[in-house]
Structure 1
Amino acid sequence: MTETGPAPDSWEYSLYIPSDPRAVTVCRRTLRLILTLHGLIHLVDTAELLASELVSNAVLHTKGPACLRLRFRDGVLQIGAWDADPEPPEPPSRLEEPADVESGRGMALVRACSDLWHWQPLSRMGHRGKLVWCELNAA
């Protein structure tokens, strides 16, 4: 942090989205543009997968608004999805489970493809909810 604001290599974006499955595509495309403009194109494919899983869970499993949050600081990209459901996310299943399992693999992908993931209670826009987030090292 400098005296006039955040260091130039630190930034944060929030994209508030309705409870609509089409929001996942909007989030992916927005994330791609942001990472490209910040010179992090090497993270785009993995970051898109992670954001898609997090936002899909927020949109498909809750009734209220949601938000995609991207934060970059100290060489780490944090991707988070906030939703209006204060309940913790389902624990990640194992990717080795049978392929015909229709749900529950999203958080397993997040766990497998990120350097760290977690969740925390967080209120936004007057709603109690949670933020589920993961991190990717940019190096």
Structure 2
Amino acid sequence: MPSDWDYAFEMPDHPRAPRVARRVVRLVLEEHGERELVDQAELLASELIANSHRYAKGPANVRVKRIGARLRVSVWDGNPDLPSFGTAAVSGPGDEAGRGLGLVRLCAESYGGFAYGAGALGSGGGKVMWFELGDEGAWRGLG
């Protein structure tokens, strides 16, 4: 079983933040020999970070953490509005939005989010969205 580790980094409120975050997630996983999880984690992390950039003002904090057989990626931002993962299928080809959380729902082994008010966790409020992947890196629901 892999050893536990934990990385956290802050992304500025910038249009390139999702792309930079994808590269950092990829680098962390490759450095730890987690190549089987790279593509899936990179895709899902970029969806959460892109949502943060689109709907929240200010920086986002990203955390990539290995706990036993699980990999958890979480994204914090200052917008306390918690989106719904929904139950509908992923958006159609002509839709310009709505795919991100659907992909997380379809591909992650577990996922969720929680909002908190001002003063909680030593901040002005916000939310954390997260997903987990296991060792097998299965792309649930896509094949």
TM-score, normalisation: structure 1: 0.87
What's 2:60 paired with?
Answer: 66
- Structure 2 residue 127 is matched with structure 1 residue 130: yes
Runs of 4+ aligned residues of structure 1 deviating over 3 Å after TM superposition are: 90-93, 122-125
What's 1:80 paired with?
Answer: 74
* Count of residue pairs brought into register by the alignment: 132
What's 1:34 paired with?
Answer: 28
User: Distance in 2 between the 1:90 and 1:19 partners?
Assistant: 22
- CA contact 1:92–1:104 (8 Å) conserved in 2: no
What's 2:3 paired with?
Answer: 9
Unaligned runs of 5+ residues in structure 2 are: 137-143
TM-score, normalisation: structure 2: 0.84
The 3 A distance-change label for structure 1 pair 40 and 63 is same
Secondary structure (helix, strand or coil) at the match of 1:135 reads strand
- CA contact 2:85–2:105 (8 Å) conserved in 1: no
User: Distance in 2 between the 1:111 and 1:129 partners?
Assistant: 21
- CA contact 1:93–1:105 (8 Å) conserved in 2: no
C-alpha deviations, 1:28-52, integer Å up to 9, x for none?
Answer: 1111111011110110000010001
Unaligned runs of 5+ residues in structure 1 are: 1-7
- CA contact 1:75–1:138 (8 Å) conserved in 2: yes
C-alpha deviations, 1:2-52, integer Å up to 9, x for none?
Answer: xxxxxx811111110111120111111111111011110110000010001
- CA contact 2:63–2:75 (8 Å) conserved in 1: yes
Secondary structure (helix, strand or coil) at the match of 1:47 reads helix
Cα drift, residue 137 of structure 1: 0.3
What's 1:3 paired with?
Answer: none
Percent of pairs identical after alignment?
Answer: 38
Cα drift, residue 134 of structure 1: 0.4
Secondary structure (helix, strand or coil) at the match of 2:52 reads helix
User: Distance in 2 between the 1:85 and 1:51 partners?
Assistant: 17
The one-letter code of the counterpart of 1:37 is E
What's 1:24 paired with?
Answer: 18
CA RMSD across the alignment: 1.8
